[in-house]
Amino acid sequence: MTLGLISKKKEASDVYSFIFHSEEDFGWKPGQFLMYRVEHPNPDERGERRYFSIASAPFEKQIILTTRFDRERGSSFKKVLFGLPIGSTIYAEGPRGSFVIDDPTGNCVFIAGGIGVTPFRAILLDLDYQRLPINAILLYASRTNDIVYKEEFDQLAKRHSDLKIHYIVPPNYLDEIAIRKYVPDLAKLYFYISGPKPMVVDFEELLPGMGVPAEHIKRDYFPGYDRL
């Protein structure tokens, strides 16, 4: 499908959202992603295609792609994406992915590493829009206090007393100690982990040893980031 760029929004010092309109009426589940193709001359070895979670909930009627931009070492794909004029079109395929909430009434723990927070924005805004109770703990690790979506998340937490959000910034880290501190009754909860691949793999190994049944763990990992 073809997506038209409507606007860009700065979310944090090096993170931007790209807001697209689709001519085609297509549906997606919060937590799913699209494959994007941005054609450009002389693409680097990482090529012209990337996957990005849809950071918007379906009721917003827009596709939001939020991503980090490394000005010095960024890929040719990101350089072209960041330079796209409003009104430009790009190609996308999807939606794909099963990183979706199976039981909206269940008690969940959302573990987000950096820009891995994008699917949780869609999931949380959708639950709020549907007026469902949000029984969730969001553990959100960020490299700095410049936290992507913080204002929107804080508004949600004000409206939902059972949504607990913990922003974890250095010198604190999202690790076993943080899990034990913020998450009670580990065995009863459903864990959704999203972030850089090394972080997701660490949690997949850690959580079963802490008593979380393997079937209570879902993950979405973002290749291409070696840190938060």
Ligand X SMILES: Cc1cc2nc3c(=O)[nH]c(=O)nc-3n(C[C@H](O)[C@H](O)[C@H](O)COP(=O)(O)OP(=O)(O)OC[C@H]3O[C@@H](n4cnc5c(N)ncnc54)[C@H](O)[C@@H]3O)c2cc1C
Residues that bind ligand X (CB under 6 A): 33, 46, 50-53, 66-68, 70, 73-75, 77-78, 97, 115, 118, 220, 222-225
Q: How far is the CB of 210 from ligand X (least distance, A)?
A: 25
* Residue whose CB is less far from ligand X, 50 or 160: 50
* Residue whose CB is less far from ligand X, 160 or 192: 192
Q: How far is the CB of 150 from ligand X (least distance, A)?
A: 17
Closest C-alpha among 46, 49, 99 to residue 221:
99
Q: How far is the CB of 214 from ligand X (least distance, A)?
A: 21
For residues 42-57, b (16+ Cβ closer than 10 Å) or e, as one string? eeeeeebebbbbbbbb
Q: How many CA within 13 A on the CB side of residue 141? A: 20
* Residue whose CB is less far from ligand X, 87 or 223: 223
Q: Residue with the closest Cβ to ligand X?
A: 224
Structural contact between residues 5 and 71, judged by C-beta atoms closer than 8 angstroms: no
As a whole number of angstroms, the distance between CA 44 and CA 228 comes to 23
Angle between helices 118-129 and 150-159 (to 10 degrees): 30
Which conformational region is residue 126 in: left (phi greater than 0), alpha (psi within -120 to 50 degrees), or beta? alpha
* Residue whose CB is less far from ligand X, 78 or 160: 78
Q: How far is the CB of 131 from ligand X (least distance, A)?
A: 26
* Residue whose CB is less far from ligand X, 114 or 160: 114
Q: How far is the CB of 98 from ligand X (least distance, A)?
A: 10
Q: Is the peptide bond before 171 cis (omega within 30 degrees of 0)?
A: yes
